[in-house]
A and B are shown apart, each in its own frame.
Chain A
Amino acid sequence: MEKLESALNEILKTGKGNSILLELDAELYFKTIIKAIKKLQKKGLSGIYVSTQRPFKNISSLLKKEGININKIIFIDVASAASKEAQEKCKGCVHISPELDVDELVEAIYNSAEKMKGKKFIFIDSITTFALYKPISESLRFSEFLISQVKGKKDIILILNVAKDLSQKKFIRDVVMRADKTIEIKD
């Protein structure tokens, strides 16, 4: 967590290196995410949480239980779309269509970011789960596009999550090459 702390401090100070790939222990995955979000909020950032792993109701209630201010987060519910579940309209949640079209998803992220004032983060949870449903080329295009979009912007931090055991996958190595930093979190 210290590495993430210093990386965030550097980005917020200099505006440089604002795309981060987080390698998380699969067993402590969600606990680590909570810590990371808390850290981001403590630094005054609002955020966009692209949730491919958990549906909106689950992720938002768990984060709320952990004391995270979910009013400062817009959730993009990819998990419900991927499992083709009925999508209820909820405050703070953006739905996308079950095709999981990369362009539609990028547009949803962009539009959500536009609605937020001040410094913000985009949290992709996770890129490997997204890749279960889309060809590797599309998942890579998605990551690359986001990385290129945030480059040089002082008010935005992009965080892409990946479980440590999956970080050796070929396409994740490609993402590592393009992201500004890779941080392995052990605690």
Chain B
Amino acid sequence: MIDTKKLKAELEDIPNDSIVLIETSAEKAMDVNLAVMKILTDKDYTGLIISASRPCKNLLVLYEKNSINTKKVMILCAVCKSQGGDAKNTERVIHLERISALTEMSISLNEAIKKTEGGKFVFIDSITTMLIYNKPNVFAIFIHSILTKMRMNMVSGLLISIENETNKDIRAEIAQLCDKVIKL
């Protein structure tokens, strides 16, 4: 179980265009995902999720089970296509070719940001998984580039990292780009 109260309090006092790195264990990562989505969608924000850890169908089922308003969810799913699964785009899901298709991911994210009205946040789950499929330096450039774009568009961001399992150099490079690091 994660400390939801702590997470809620931490997310409460951050400005709208902040970028937050959440470090947690592999066991707690899904709970963190659900808690973040619940807290922020309840505040009427739309979550644009880059999912490298779970297929979109599974995520949507879990969100519904946890009373998360899926109308406030847009998933950029990097899992289904690469696993040969059902990969039809819907109103709530955009399928990406694979986790290493960073240019496609960046373009799709930009389009999703532009298309989504009202308050929104980008949620990357997780940088640890994405690093398995991408060269560290290329991945760091990708993160730096999308964080810059998000900041220019006043969009908040949350990145999940699995503690002690993320490349140390890249973790430091990304942590220094963030406004806050939360350990759960």
Contacts and interface: CB of A to CB of B under 8 A. Distances in A.
A85 B137 CA distance: 20
A57 B152 contact: yes
Q: What size tier do the contact residues of chain A reach?
A: 20 to 34
B113 to A, nearest CB: 13
Contacts, number: 67
A27 B141 contact: no
A179 to B, nearest CB: 19
Interface stretch (B28-36, B77-85, B91-99, B172-180): B172-180
Contacts of A132: 137, 140-141, 144, 173
A26 B17 contact: no
Given A27-B181, A82-B145, A163 B173 contact: yes
A27 B183 CA distance: 11
B149 interface: yes
B169 interface: yes
Interface residues of B, number: 21
A99 to B, nearest CB: 15
B168 interface: yes
Nearest to A29: B176
CB-based closest 3 A-B pairs: A165-B172, A26-B175, A83-B148
Q: Is the interface of B mostly helix, strand, loop or mixed?
A: helix
Interface string A40-57: 000000000000011101
A139 interface: no
A83 B149 contact: yes
Contacts of B169: 165-166, 169
A163 B176 contact: yes
A142 interface: no
Contact of B177 (A53, A80, A164): A53
A163 B144 CA distance: 15
Given A27-B181, A82-B144, A83-B144, A166 B172 contact: yes
